[in-house]
Each structure stands twice: as C-alpha cells, then as structure tokens.
Amino acid sequence: MAETDDVPELSGGQRRTVLAAAFVGWMFAGFEIALFVLIHRAAMQDLLGATTEERDITLWFARYQAAFLFGAAAGGWLFGWLGDRRGRTWSLAMSVLCYSTFTGASYVAETPEQLLVLRFLACLGVGGAWPNTMALVAEAWPGASRPLLAGVLGTAANVGQVLMGGLGLMSAVAPGSWRWVLLAGAAPALIGAWCLTSVPESVRWLRARRAARSDSADPLKELLQPPLRGRLIMGVLLGAVPVIGTAANAQWIVPWSDQAAGKAAAALPGDATAGSAAARGRTAQKSKAWTIVSRSSGAVLGSLLGGLLAALLGRRTTYFLISLLSLAASTIVFGRMHPLDPGFYAASFAFGLIGVIYFGWLPLYLPELFPTRVRATGAGISFNSGRVVAAIVVLGTSSLLQAFGGDYARIGLWTGMIYALGMIIVLFAPRTDSASLGD
C-alpha cells in the first residue's frame, strides 16, 4: 500500500492550477479549430487568385476540414496513448506546443497544399489536447465536483472559438491580410511551456503507474480485449455522433452565411473602385464573424449545461434528449431559415447551444467507462475516432455540395440525420450514473 500511496494528494492550489491549464489548453485548441473557418476564403483567394470560383473555395474548405479531422483523430490516439505512458501533463504540454508551432509555421506557406499539410500536423495537437485535459481534471477533483467541471471544461473550446470570431470582427481578414491570424494561433506555445514547468501531474496516474508498472503495460492492448473492448466500441459510437454532427452538419452554417452575405454585398449598388470592393468584402467578413460568435456563444452555454444535465437527468436520458433537440434544430435552421433572415443569428445561437451540450456530457461520461491506467487512451480513441468518419463524410458532402450547386441548406438537412442515429445508439450504452471514478 505504501508503494502506491506515498504520492501526496494535490493541494487546493494545485488542483486549481490543473483546471486552469486544462481550460486554457483546450480553449486555444478551440481557437485553432475556428481559425481556418475564419480565414479559408481570404486564403484561397490569395493563394489561388482573386477570380477563384466558388466551387474551388468550397472544395478547399472541405479539404481543410478533412485535414483537421484526420489530424485530430490521429493526435487523439497518439497523445492519449502518451498520456497513459508518459503522463497527462507532459502530453498536454506537447499537444499545445504541437498545434501552436505548426499553426505558426503555416505563416510562410505559399500554396494551398503546403497549408493543408501544416494544418494536418497542427491538428495532431488539437486532437491530443482533449484526452489529457479531460483525464487531468477528472482525476484531480473530487467526485461531487465532476458534473460541473465537465461542463466548464466543455465550454473551453467554445470560448476559444468566440475569441477567434472576435478577432474577425476587430481586424480585417482579407486576401492580402490573413496570415496574421496564423501568428495569433502560435501564441499558445507559451501555455505549453508553462504546462511543462508548473502544472502538477495526476496523482491517480502516478499511483496507478507504480502499482501496475505501466512502463511495460500496453493500454491499447488492454482496451482491445474483454471486458473493456465493448466499452471502447460504445465510447467510439457515442463520441462519433457529436463530432460528425459538428463537422458535417453544424459547421456548414458559417460558410453558408459567408456565401449569402457575399452574394448580397455583390448585389448592392456601387462603383467599381477598390474601396467599394473592400467595403463589400468587410460586410461579408463581419457576417461570417458574427455567425461564428453567435453560434460559439450559444455553444459556451450548452457545454456548461452538459455535465449538469447528465447528473440531474441521467447520462443516457440526457444524450437521447440532446440528439432529439439537435435533430429538430438542424431541421429548422437548414430547412426553414436563410442567413439573411433577421432571426438567423439568434437561431445560430440556439443551434450552437443545443448541439454542443454533447461536449459537456462527454467529459463526464467517457472517463467513467475506463479505469485510470487506460483512461486517456480509451477516452482519446472514443472521442477522436469519429473524426475519421466525419472527415470522409465532409469530403463526400463537398462533392454533393458541388452537385447541388452550392446549396448548403440542402446538405445541412441530409447530414442532420446523424442525430437520429445517436438516439438509437445511446439505448445500448452502459449505465454509469455515479459520482466517482474507478481506479
């Protein structure tokens, strides 16, 4: 007993440091997620030429989305595995350094292809941040706090996306002025350095490592064997629905708004001067930025509610209701509204609020599926595996979008059906309505 209990418990100040590191690490991951949503049109018009056709811009947007999803999936597996092998704090720091360094390196990209490769590499860190922030917070705080903390952690990425939208409102993002956003994305490297030097390691992980001698253990091998294999499969399915829903459904709301605002600005009377063209470009940019801000602001509130609702209503009931409401919201927004409607930003806020409750639910439920020794690996695989499917869906929908003549609403209606699948999957999920984590 002494061999595993000689690691002292974290003090209150150390636990708050862990929470702060997890929050800002995942917040800036959200900042990175929204980055290409903001700059992709300006970047493509700069790299491909001002006369680039809409279908090419749409195709490259889908490619960058796929690079994000594939990269985040691979990073979740890699850094989740490292979190169980090398420690949660070290792996979180490496994740933050990864996404900030490669985003900063994208500043010098000269072709869309170079930007695509660097985007993939940066998103390895984005995917790796989630399992380690989740594991650190879940293991550092007492059980009674976890529903609230799961919601707080779930809000972090959405706060980052609000910050990115705010940047778009305050500063110009145009074909000649978009690379500065990539430099802003490099700033979180300071957070990575701070994690390495000042954030304590998980006491649960240190004790489990000593007890199991995990230097020779293989978390992935254990997860692929009974009894954990069934839980891993269920975790993957439950994590896939919101990831696919966000990437292949809700995410289209921003380029849809951008497209509609651009067409409306082009139809306004005006001269052919550069100043007039720039003014119209700013109008379209602000419409996109406001859509990002409204949707992400709703998502901040939705994420905060996820853990609390799961504790109040039960894990499975909450997931079912989120899926039902997300299906309804997607159908209303894409089926009955238009980005130029007066209530569109309010609808975008509501869509973000409902659809992102998932991401306050997942940090509570997924850790409960796995013991400490494999928690980061299991949660990382569960959350990020859906990104692979989502990437394939995004690439497929980009082809459909071209076939539909750029009709984002039609694509949104079809891809919203993923939420109906979530209502079925959760009926078979294990019950974990407990306030404590197993070791």
Residues 6+ apart with CB under 8 A from 127: 71, 72, 73, 74, 75, 76, 77, 79, 95, 380, 384, 387
CA–CA separation, 305 and 320 (whole Å) = 15
Q: How far is CA 168 from the centre of its chain?
A: 19
Report the pLDDT value the prediction gives residue 2, as an integer from 0 to 100: 44
Q: What is the pLDDT of residue 408?
A: 85
Stretches where the chain sits below pLDDT 70 are 1-5, 142, 144, 212-217, 267-285, 434-439
pLDDT at 319: 98
C-alpha–C-alpha distance, residues 276 and 267, integer Å? 12
Residue with tokens 């209990």: 5
CA-wise closest residue to 65 among 421, 424, 415, 427: 415
Q: Write down the pLDDT at residue 168.
A: 87
Domains and CATH numbers, the chain: 2-428 (1.20.1250.20)
